[in-house]
Chain A
Amino acid sequence: MATVRRRILALALVLLLCAPAPATTADDALVVLSWGGAYERAQREALFEPFTARTGIPVEVQRYDGGLEALRRAVADGEVPWDLIDMTRSDAMAACEEGLLAPLPPDLAAPAPDGTPPARDFLPDAIGRCALTHTVFATVVAYRPEAFPGRRPTAIADLFDQQRFPGPRALQRTPAVNLEWALRSYGVPREELYRLLSTPRGLRLALGRLAELEAIHWWEAGDTPARLLVEGRVVMASGYNGRFFDAMLRDDAPIEILWDGQVQEHEAWAVPRGAARPEAARDLIRFATTTERLAELARRIPYGPARDSAALQVTTHPDTGLDMRLHIPTHPLNAAGAIVKDEDWYAHTQSRLDDYFEAWLATDGCRISLNEPCPSP
Chain B
Amino acid sequence: MNPDHALTERGPLAVVRFLGLVLLGALIGGVAALAAVGFVTAVLWLNEILLISPRSRMMFDHPAALIAATLAVPTLGGLLVGLLHRAIPEKRPHTPADVIAAVQTRRGRLPARAGGLSALTAMISLGAGASVGQYGPLVHMGATLGSLGSRLLRLGRSEDNITIACGVAAAISAAFNAPLAGIVFAHEVVLRHYALRAFAPVAAAAIVGYVVATTVLDQGALFHVAETVVPRAWEFMLFVVIGGLGALVAGAYMHAILGVGRLATKLPLPATLRPALAGALLGLTALWVPDILGMGQETLRFATIAGAFGGGELLLILLLKLAATALCLGMGFSGGVFSPALVIGTLFGALCGTLVGQVAGAPPETFVFYAVCGMVAVTAPVIGAPLTTLLIVFELTGSYALTTAALASVTLASPIAAQLFGRSLFDIQLDRRGLDLSAGRGRAVLQATSVASQVTQDCVTLPPETPVSEAIGALGRARHAEAYLVDARGRYRGCVLLHDLEAAQQADGGRRPAADVIDAKRPVLRPGSSLWEAMARLEEVSGEALAVVDDHRDNAFMGVVYEAGIARAHRVQSDTLRREEHGNG
Contacts and interface: CB of A to CB of B under 8 A. Distances in A.
Interface of A: 186-189, 191-192, 194-199, 201-202, 205, 208, 344-345, 348-349, 352
Nearest to B53: A195
Nearest to B59: A348
Contacts of A198: 53-55, 57-59, 298
Given A187-B226, A187-B305, 8 more contacts: A186-B308, A187-B304, A189-B221, A192-B301, A195-B298, A205-B305, A348-B59, A352-B61
Interface string B44-57: 00000000011101
B308 A201 contact: yes
A130 to B, nearest CB: 19
B58 A201 contact: no
B58 A196 contact: no
B400 interface: no
B308 A189 contact: no
Contact of A205 (B224, B290, B308): B308
Given A195-B298, A205-B308, A189 B58 contact: no
Interface residues of B, number: 26
Nearest to A197: B58
Chain B CB within 10 Å, residue with most, of A196, A197, A205, A345: A196
Contacts of A187: 225-227, 304-305, 368
Contacts of B54: 195-196, 198-199
B301 A196 contact: yes
Nearest to A188: B301
A191 B301 contact: no
Interface of B: 53-55, 57-61, 219-221, 224-227, 290, 297-298, 301-302, 304-305, 307-309, 368
Nearest to A348: B59
A345 B297 CA distance: 19
Contacts of B60: 348
A345 B59 contact: yes
A195 B305 contact: no
A198 to B, nearest CB: 4
A196 B220 contact: no
Nearest to A187: B226
Nearest to B220: A191
B121 to A, nearest CB: 25
A199 B60 CA distance: 13
B326 to A, nearest CB: 24
Contacts of A208: 307
A265 B219 CA distance: 21
A191 B60 CA distance: 21
A359 B453 CA distance: 79
Contacts of B221: 189
Minimum-distance CB pairs A-B, first 10 = A191-B220, A198-B58, A198-B54, A348-B59, A189-B224, A198-B55, A199-B54, A186-B305, A195-B55, A195-B298
B381 to A, nearest CB: 27
A348 B60 CA distance: 7
A208 B219 CA distance: 29
A195 B61 contact: no
Given A189-B224, A194-B55, A348 B298 contact: no
Given A189-B221, A345-B58, A195 B308 contact: no
A192 B220 CA distance: 8
Given A186-B305, A187-B305, A195 B297 contact: yes
